[in-house]
Amino acid sequence: VFNSICTSAADLLEAEEKFISPRLISVLGNVHVFESLKISQPTASLSLIFGAKYDVNVMYINDSDHIFVRSTDLISKNLYNTFIRLYNENSSETNVENQEFVVGDIVKCRSKDDRFRRAKILNMVGSMVSVLFIDSSDQSLVQKSYISHIPPIHKYFPPLVFRCVLEEGRDLRKTTLFAEYQKRRRDSLQCIIKIMGIDPNSNYFIQVIEILQTSSSFDFAPQISPVLSNYSSLKYKSIQIPPFADLSAYVSYFVSPNEFYLHIIRKDYTIALKNIHALIENEFKNQANIVKLTDIEVDQPVMCLNEDGGWFRSIVVEKKSQRECKVVYVDFGIPEIVSTEHIASIQSKFLSDPIQAICCCLCEADRSNPSIINLLKSNQRSISVTFESSDSSGKFTVKVSAI
């Protein structure tokens, strides 16, 4: 229910309504407001649950040893990407001669990467404005022409970063977390944290459970990510589905009763697929980000240019010759033989989001039912399936429960 409400919140942003229900604000967060932001306008705060564990990106560590983190969950991705897309559809500089601003205003502001983001005005001196980007925690000094007003509804949505500190008695500067933060680029440090408590200034006490090797950063703006030099140690992530889950789906690609690929029919899955390909499209608009491969191996994650001119996450399943190989588009399960000229290196950030095509096989009882098999082949209607089990390769055994 919480996920559905927050997905609806992203829809409200699309509509650019002038008012947002206080009930929705109370669902999005409680009354804890970041002391450092001091947002005077009606902006709530998302809150973390004590004792819970979260997968987060470390956005920034300041001189006071405050750790600013942003959750990698789908809710945060939906809200953040919606803001970025809305603000950058028309990204030309705004005429601000007749616009009035005061310290504390929530505005949209052009950042160093030429993307507009939500920001809070900290100070104004002449034609220069000091701002804090409230969804990423970084500060910048910009020209006044770089800022403009946003729809009132956008001010009600909470900052997507949390301010944290280590448990009492821990010296941050002597931890592996701080050492890794200094090595890596901004927001590429991903870790699992546990919420231990909160102080009167709304700092969350955290325990670092695990530092992850790859980042699931969902920043819509172009970023410089390392090209994988050792692909054998990395692979795509699979969608996690609880045992015996009943879900609606459609067949993305059918090979046999022992191998076919499903897409879940649910808004969060649909949005996730859309966001992945928006990120890829944005990245590969810049030719400098396309790094062609000279050596291609079976089971290698790659980016592949299909005949329609789009780049897709893929995996090499067979080498046909020096000039051709067979790939599978992992978000659809569809195979294709392509020229090696159309294969490029994949960046690590594109491995962190789970692949959206779920590899499945029919349960024994359904394999003998020709009606079910013909339905899967035709791919003309949605079906309801029960995910009974999965094997070590991630393939699910499913039972078709309704047509």
DSSP string, 297-364: -TT-EEEEE-TTS-EEEEEEEEE-SSSEEEEEETTTTEEEEEEGGGEEPPBGGGTSSPBSSEEEEE-H
| Res 216: pLDDT | 45
For residue 254, give the CATH number of its domain: 2.30.30.140
Q: Specify whether 80 is located in the same domain as 206.
A: yes
**Strand, coil or helix: 386:** strand
Q: Specify whether 300 is located in the same domain as 374.
A: yes
Question: Does some domain include residue 130?
Answer: no
* One-letter identity of residue 101: F
| Res 267: pLDDT | 80
Domain that holds residue 62: 21-88+148-215
Question: Does some domain include residue 111?
Answer: no
CB-neighbour burial class of residue 3 (10 A; exposed 0-12, middle 13-18, buried 19+): middle
Cβ pair 109, 119 in contact under 8 A: yes
Question: Does some domain include residue 133?
Answer: no
Q: Specify whether 310 is located in the same domain as 366.
A: yes
Question: Does some domain include residue 393?
Answer: yes
Query: At 147, which helix (H) or strand (E)?
Result: strand 147-149
pLDDT in tens, the chain (403 residues): 334 444 444 454 444 333 333 333 333 333 333 233 333 344 445 677 888 888 888 888 887 888 999 888 766 777 777 777 888 765 554 555 567 899 989 999 988 777 888 999 988 887 888 898 888 877 888 888 889 988 887 877 778 888 899 987 788 988 988 888 887 655 568 899 999 988 888 889 999 998 885 544 444 332 323 333 334 445 787 777 877 788 889 888 898 999 999 988 888 778 888 888 888 888 888 888 888 887 888 888 999 998 778 899 999 999 888 889 999 999 988 889 999 999 998 887 888 788 888 999 999 999 989 989 988 887 667 889 999 888 877 889 999 986 6
| Res 95: pLDDT | 53
Q: Specify whether 201 is located in the same domain as 275.
A: no
Question: Does some domain include residue 96?
Answer: no
| Res 115: pLDDT | 81
Q: Specify whether 68 is located in the same domain as 175.
A: yes
Cβ pair 277, 350 in contact under 8 A: no
Of 193, 215, 237, the domain-final residue: 215
Q: Specify whether 185 is located in the same domain as 282.
A: no
For residue 201, give the CATH number of its domain: 2.40.50
User: DSSP secondary-structure letter at 155?
Assistant: G
**359's tokens:** 């590899």
| Res 215: pLDDT | 47
Number of structural domains found in the chain: 2
Question: Does some domain include residue 379?
Answer: yes
Report how far residue 401's alpha carbon sits from residue 383's, in angstroms, rounded to the nearest whole number: 8
| Res 5: pLDDT | 42
DSSP string, 202-249: -PEEEEEEEE-SS-----SS----PBPS-GGG--PPBPP--TTEEEEE
Of 176, 196, 215, the domain-final residue: 215
| Res 96: pLDDT | 53
Of 215, 236, 268, the domain-final residue: 215
Question: Does some domain include residue 377?
Answer: yes
Report how far residue 228's alpha carbon sits from residue 302's, in angstroms, rounded to the nearest whole number: 9
Q: Specify whether 202 is located in the same domain as 271.
A: no
Q: Specify whether 251 is located in the same domain as 211.
A: no
Question: Does some domain include residue 197?
Answer: yes
Q: Specify whether 253 is located in the same domain as 328.
A: yes
Q: Specify whether 211 is located in the same domain as 250.
A: no
Q: Specify whether 177 is located in the same domain as 320.
A: no
Q: Specify whether 200 is located in the same domain as 321.
A: no
